[in-house]
């Protein structure tokens, strides 16, 4: 029979136990902190369909850039153009130039999923814009009203299409086709990294949804509107505000324009969530950049309209649209440049210390439980 241990032999003295715990707290953790994954990009062979999607995207950008310079529409025998000044040209060329650059990178086979993500999101947003353009060029005379077209406040009693409108519509259709090809080529394209963006993806998705909702609300109202008039009664001297009729809101327009506005708003909300979840990092950057460029171009167009016409004022929805576009573009930049700090575990981020050190201290505080677990 084994000799029975006395109580003094079973339990170590309190000073020794305290010294052991103190020494263990001061000693480095038995497990080293996890190293930050190296964001090394692996790119496989680029399929032909991916290069074709990039070619269509680049062609859409080229056609959209050319569409800026001819006449856009002819309203009441007045030719409207998007290129009436240097500022108008710069605003109109933002989206086409970016599409041309991204499409060229995709055709060259560099970072293919970046270009595919940009093409897919741009194509999804272009579906609603195609319907809106069709309404403005062909069906806006069925219910004549005051509209802001190419920075001018006009009454759509008679509207005839011009080469600029045809080229702009062709650029949107090419964007839709590029988006469809990008969806086909996505699963066939190999491009992966170490996943260092994964901890930031929930923040990016939530921010993109909020900014997309803000952009959808701002798009529902005119970015540039007619200012109200102050009328003074000569007999009483009473000053009253007379609201002038301005351009109709997007959701107040009939037929294809209403459907296009609803599709555009839904695409803005969906694209933000999908873009933030795309892998690898550069694919998420491409998707967020596409949303940011589309919203930013719409916000700059509202500012251009307000500066171009003396009868229009820049509205609060127009300001919100511009700020949302800048913020979405900033999210794309954040996803591109963000790197996790070395050894930054969730416990350390919350100020709780390293999890291994906490487990060691708990084991020292309850030695009976640790011995029993063995």
95's tokens? 């989206």
- Whether the pLDDT of residue 195 is over 90: the answer is no
For the stretch 312-338, pLDDT in tens is 788 898 899 999 999 999 999 999 988
- The per-residue pLDDT for 341 is 63
- Residue 246 CA to residue 275 CA, distance in Å, equals 36
Answer yes or no: are the C-beta atoms of 324 and 237 closer than 8 Å: no
Nearest to 161 by CA among 153, 257, 170: 170
Helix boundaries (H) for 199-315: 201-219, 255-277, 281-308
Answer yes or no: are the C-beta atoms of 307 and 224 closer than 8 Å: no
269's tokens? 């909300």
Answer yes or no: are the C-beta atoms of 335 and 285 closer than 8 Å: yes
- Residue 99 CA to residue 219 CA, distance in Å, equals 22
Report domain extents, the chain: 45-341
Cβ-Cβ contacts under 8 Å for 91 (sequence gap 6 or more): 297, 300, 301, 303, 304
Bridge-partner residues for 80, per DSSP?
A: 73
For the stretch 277-321, pLDDT in tens is 998 899 999 999 999 999 999 999 888 888 877 777 888 988 999
- Residue 271 CA to residue 324 CA, distance in Å, equals 14
Judged by average pLDDT, the poorest of 202-206, 250-254, 351-355 is: 351-355
More confident residue, 63 or 43: 63
More confident residue, 271 or 255: 271
Most confident of 30-44, 63-77, 175-189: 175-189
Rounded to an integer, the average pLDDT of 176-182 is 96
The dihedral built from the CA positions of residue 59, 65, 70 and 71, taken in this order, carries a sign that is: positive
Mean pLDDT for the chain overall: 79
- The per-residue pLDDT for 257 is 81
For the stretch 209-254, pLDDT in tens is 999 999 999 988 888 777 666 667 677 766 665 555 556 777 777 7
φ, ψ of residue 158 in degrees (nearest 5):
-130, 125
**Which of 295-317 are b and which e, b meaning 16 or more Cβ less than 10 Å from the residue's Cβ?**
bbbbbbbbbbbbbbbeebbbbeb
- Whether the pLDDT of residue 155 is over 70: the answer is no
Q: Chain-centre distance of CA 215, in angstroms?
A: 10
Q: Where does residue 317 fall: left (phi above 0), alpha (psi -120 to 50 degrees), or beta otherwise?
A: alpha
The whole-model pTM stands at: 0.78
Question: β-strands 152-155, 146-149: how paired?
Answer: antiparallel
φ, ψ of residue 300 in degrees (nearest 5):
-65, -35
- Whether the pLDDT of residue 49 is over 60: the answer is yes
More confident residue, 31 or 246: 246
Classified as helix, coil or strand, 350 is coil
Cβ-Cβ contacts under 8 Å for 11 (sequence gap 6 or more): none
- Whether the pLDDT of residue 14 is over 60: the answer is no
Element (H, E) at 360: helix 355-365
């Amino acid at each position: 029979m084994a000799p029975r241990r006395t109580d003094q032999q079973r339990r170590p003295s309190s000073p020794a136990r305290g010294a052991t715990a103190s020494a263990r707290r001061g000693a480095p953790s038995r497990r080293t902190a996890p190293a930050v994954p190296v964001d090394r990009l692996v790119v496989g062979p680029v399929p032909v369909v991916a290069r074709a999607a990039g070619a269509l995207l680049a062609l859409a950008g080229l056609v959209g850039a050319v569409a800026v310079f001819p006449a856009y529409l002819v309203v009441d025998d007045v030719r409207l153009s998007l290129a009436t000044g240097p500022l108008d040209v710069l605003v109109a060329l933002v989206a086409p130039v970016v599409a041309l650059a991204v499409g060229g990178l995709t055709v060259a086979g560099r970072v293919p999923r970046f270009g595919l993500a940009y093409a897919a999101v741009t194509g999804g947003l272009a579906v609603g814009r195609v319907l809106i353009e069709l309404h403005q060029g062909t069906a806006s005379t069925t219910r004549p009203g005051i509209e802001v077209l190419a920075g001018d406040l006009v009454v759509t009693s008679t509207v005839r299409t011009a080469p600029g409108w045809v080229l702009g519509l062709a650029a949107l259709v090419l964007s839709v086709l590029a988006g469809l090809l990008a969806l086909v080529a996505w699963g066939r394209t190999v491009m992966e990294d170490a996943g260092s963006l994964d901890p930031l993806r929930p923040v990016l998705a939530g921010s993109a949804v909020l900014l997309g909702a803000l952009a959808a609300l701002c798009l529902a109202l005119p970015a540039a509107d007619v200012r109200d008039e102050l009328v003074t009664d000569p007999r009483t001297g009473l000053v009253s505000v007379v609201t002038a009729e301005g351009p109709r809101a997007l959701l107040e327009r009939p037929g294809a324009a209403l459907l296009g506005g609803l599709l555009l708003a839904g695409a803005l909300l969906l694209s933000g969530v999908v873009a933030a979840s795309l892998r690898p990092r550069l694919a998420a950057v491409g998707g967020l950049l596409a949303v940011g460029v589309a919203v930013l171009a719409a916000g700059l167009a509202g500012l251009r309209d307000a500066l171009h016409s003396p009868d229009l004022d820049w509205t609060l929805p127009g300001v919100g649209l511009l700020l949302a576009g800048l913020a979405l573009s900033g999210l794309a930049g954040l996803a591109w440049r963000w790197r996790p700090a070395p050894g930054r575990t969730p416990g350390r981020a919350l100020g709780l210390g390293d999890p291994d050190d906490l487990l060691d201290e708990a084991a020292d505080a309850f030695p009976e439980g640790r011995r029993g677990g063995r």
